[in-house]
Each structure stands twice: as structure tokens, then as C-alpha cells.
A and B are shown apart, each in its own frame.
Chain A
């Protein structure tokens, strides 16, 4: 995607307006606005407890917002259940990894292909030609995705047997398999060493360019954020502190203050 058509206003993929939610009187997220254009790599940063993951949970329907609207690619998805939101085109990863730990790596991805490769229960039990055809296509597609993340060699391992860094990658692979328009990554580099983080940055860029998707990520690793995010939103105490181009945001006096304290 070239820089020129990113700036046209008809290209908004995610449009969040005045989003808010309270837990027991505490406003966890308040008056949150966000516009993400198609193909962008967008970062959501902020101190711990600023409400970043809560926003992901609101976007994916884990929480129902008290106020505001969420528009994805022109469709209102506010308050819809998680499953419908995934079908509408949002997939995510989790801060604390949530894999299908007893299933083989490849089945983690195949489970995510579920809604794109279909056959009925009867076909599954009686193993009709449709079953074999579809399963074969799923295997091929899953291997293709795993290859991107260099997980094709461990396709038959149980997901729980993978080392931490590769589990994070598998989570991204699984999310990508649902063919999302918008991919949400919750601290993808958490617990990775600099070498792994560097590889991850390359992978994220590759995913954005090759899977025709838009990425919104939460991250504390500033090297990763400044290295790949084109735009940033800084969140503090549930409110937007600053929004804009990465360089401008990171050099903003208020942002620096929020991070370093008074």
C-alpha cells in the first residue's frame, strides 16, 4: 500500500467514536476516539493500567461498551458478540497467551480456518469426498500460514510444547487464519529477547503487506513501536493523551511526562 492512497478519507477501516466503559464507577475507558485507515500499522501505547487491553476487549466484544460506536469497514459492530465481530473481520492475540494447548500446532490454525472451509457434521462423520477435499485444502492453507511464521517444521507438535516466543507467533498465525480486515496484537513482543523482537518486527510487517490486513498493536517495547508503527495513540488513565504520526507523538512533551512521571 503506497503512502498516497493511505491519506484519502474514504479509506477508513476502523472508526471508533466516543467509546467508554466503567467498572464499578471507575471509568476504565472514556471518550475514546480512533480512526485507522486500511493497511495502516497503528500502535496503541500507554502506561500500565491505562486501559489498552480494555479497548481491545471492547473492540472484540468481550466487553460491551457503555457509550460510543465502533464502525468496522462501514458496518456498525458496537456491542456485537465476539464471534460475530470475528466474522465481521477483527481477530486478535492475547496478552497472556491463549492457545489451544492440547491441540497440535497445525490444528490451532485449522480451527481458525473453521468459518472459511466448511462441511457439515454428516460429511465429517461419514468422511465423504467433500470431507477429504476440504481437509486437504485446510492442511495446505494452514501450512502456508505456518510457513510465514517458520512454524511449519513443528506443525505436529502440541502447542504447549512450543517455546514462549513461538507460542506468540502461533497466536498471530491463528488470528491471521481467520482472514481479518483488522488484526489486534496485544503486546506481541512481551517476553522476547531483542533478537526475537527484531524478527517479530519483520514478521509483522510481512503480515501486513502480504495478508492484506491492517494492524493495531499494543506494545511497551518502544523500539518495536517506533520501528514499525506509522501512527500512534497514547492512552493515559483511560483517555487519549495524544494521537498522530509516530515521530511527533513520541517527541511530545506531555507524552514524555506521562511515561517518565512528573
Chain B
């Protein structure tokens, strides 16, 4: 079937693109030509790609808007980091990272599920605002938490480190707004790329599965989808939870790339959620390959064009508005269709004349 081979080709080129990107960067790195600035961007590039792909599940495939993606990333990051400095501290590096990723994904998925219950049956606008609220809650709550461990087990308080009342040999894990220190920093570019591949594998296969079809059918027409027996809440939830889990994975990667993890407005705030949204919108809503490319370009470009750094957010805002107007305004769409038509007619005419 034609459309099957088309889907296969699209998945294949997406994988190939990531592989090519990896090889280019590795060669660049191994030959010693890469600047330290660029080198420092390699792991961030990976988690931005994962975040963009995962948000695209909600925005592109499911047609809802989540503004709390940074919140799920935050949950994953802290889950992974807590594991890294406790049980994972004694483990071999890769085993620790592996388990941290599984845990981060699972805990984020649980949060996604809990947030999804109240909002997924409601209008899309509510989902946007509740996820935004969730992101802020997570950040606020984590900043007030003190978590410690001693022989008696875990202690938690919202007061201060002393109130933990840790026994002999006890260790504070989360120190309120100061966050978690002493992280292993064992993430690297190869691991990042592997995670990008895993995310792509999950998302691309989901799109071409029975479940993905149901999610997209619901996106296109909820009432018609119900009329053919598709459960709207089940499949919206499925998309939301998978997306949250992948954002959690990105968070684990993020946390394992730092020595100290703190929840600040910069890393897990609204701005981060918007930045991920910009990746998705610029890359084309629902276009997985596009959001990867957008994530890479929008991460590298501002670093290369430092003089623009003050205007970076402003440019993001303009990109969002312009892309939406260009892609969704009925007049703009009609104009583009006319343009394409006139070009193809011209081409046909020329072809005829040549014949």
C-alpha cells in the first residue's frame, strides 16, 4: 500500500537524520575541532529533541495544548536525581542511569495520569491552563521541600533542613530551593542520542498503530470518533501519559548532566514550556522530524548569535505568532493553496509546451 511505504519512508528518514547528526557531531568532536561551547550543547540538544518530540504527541497527534511540559521534565529530573544520590550512588554508572531513566519516566507518567483525570474530559483551553498551573505548582512545591535519609528511612519537611531531625550519619537529599547537590554528571552525548532514538521509536510507532490512529481520529473529530466507538478519554489520556513519560526521560537526562539540580523559573518554568512549544510550532505541528530540526536550530542559533541574546525570547514570540498566522489563518491557507496551484499549473503548461 502506498501510504504504508510513505509512513515507513518518513520514519526511516527521521532515524537517518538523527544518526547523521550524531555521526557529524562525533567526528567533529573526535577531530578536536569542536568548540567547548558547542560541546557543552550536545547533551542539551538531546533533551531538547526529546522534549520537542514528546510535546508533539500532545499538540500534534492529540491536538491538545500542554503548557506544563517543563513540569513533567522537572518531575523526571528530581526523581532521577534522588535515585542517583541514594540507591543509585553505589551502582555502576550505566546501571544507575538506566534505572533512573525508567524511574523518571514512570513517576512522570503517574503525574501525567493524575493531571489528566480532571482535564482531559474538558475543553482544550482548560488543559492548557491546568497544565500551566501544574508546572508552577511542581516548581513551587519542590522549592519548599527538604528531604533527608538516615538509618530510619526517609524524612521530609517543608520547614528547613534542621527540621528533618536526621539521625547519626543522615544525609540531606533535597535542600529546599538549593536543590540536590553532588549529582554524578554521567550523561553523555551517546546516551542522549540513544534516548532520542528510543523516543522516536515510541512516537513514530505509536503514530502508525491502532492506538495512534484512534488518537488522531479523536483529534480530527471528537464526535465522529465517539460515534464509531472510540473512547475519547482513554486515548487522550494515553497520548498525555506517554508524552509526560518522555518529558520525564528528558528530565533525567537533564539532571544527569549537572552537578547541582535546582528548580528555577529558568529551567522548569513557564519559559521552558513555551520554548518547547516553539520547537513544535516552528517544526510544524504534528511533524516529528520538523520538531527535531527546530529544536537543534533554535538551540544552536542563539548560542552562535550572542548579540541577539537579549531578543531571543522576543524572536520566539514573533515566530509563534507568525507561524500560526501563516499556517492556520484561513486566508493565508487559501493564498498558499492558490500559489501552489498556479505554480503547478504553470509547470504543467510548460511541460505541455515542451511536449
Contacts and interface: CB of A to CB of B under 8 A. Distances in A.
Touch between chains A and B, by CB atoms below 8 Å: yes
A100 B217 contact: yes
A114 B220 CA distance: 16
Interface in A172-198: 174-175, 177-178
The secondary structure that dominates the B interface is helix
A114 B229 contact: yes
A211 B6 CA distance: 32
Contacts of A103: 213, 216-217, 220
A142 B245 CA distance: 33
B220 A62 contact: no
Interface stretch (A63-71, A87-95, A236-244): A87-95
Max chain A C-beta neighbours (<10 A), residue from B213, B225, B229: B229
B230 A114 contact: yes
Nearest to A126: B205
Interface in B199-229: 201-202, 205-206, 209-214, 216-217, 219-221, 223-229
B227 A99 contact: no
A131 B213 CA distance: 14
Given A82-B227, A124-B210, A156 B221 contact: no
A98 interface: yes
B332 to A, nearest CB: 17
Interface string A100-143: 11111011101110110111010011110001001100110000
Contacts of B201: 125
B148 to A, nearest CB: 38
Contacts of B221: 98-101
A94 B213 contact: no
Contacts of A81: 226
A60 interface: yes
Contact of B214 (A114, A134, A155, A178): A114
Interface of B: 1-4, 6, 201-202, 205-206, 209-214, 216-217, 219-221, 223-231, 238
30 contacts: A82-B223, A86-B226, A87-B229, A98-B221, A99-B220, A99-B221, A100-B216, A100-B221, A100-B225, A101-B221, A103-B213, A107-B216, A110-B213, A111-B214, A111-B225, A111-B228, A111-B230, A112-B228, A114-B229, A117-B210, A119-B210, A121-B209, A121-B211, A124-B210, A125-B201, A135-B210, A139-B4, A156-B2, A174-B224, A174-B228
Nearest 10 Cβ contacts at the A-B interface: A124-B209, A86-B229, A100-B220, A98-B224, A111-B217, A82-B226, A156-B3, A112-B228, A100-B217, A156-B2
Given A99-B220, A100-B217, A125-B201, 20 more contacts: A82-B226, A82-B227, A86-B226, A91-B227, A98-B227, A102-B216, A103-B213, A107-B216, A111-B228, A112-B228, A121-B211, A121-B238, A124-B205, A124-B212, A125-B209, A127-B205, A155-B3, A156-B2, A175-B227, A178-B229
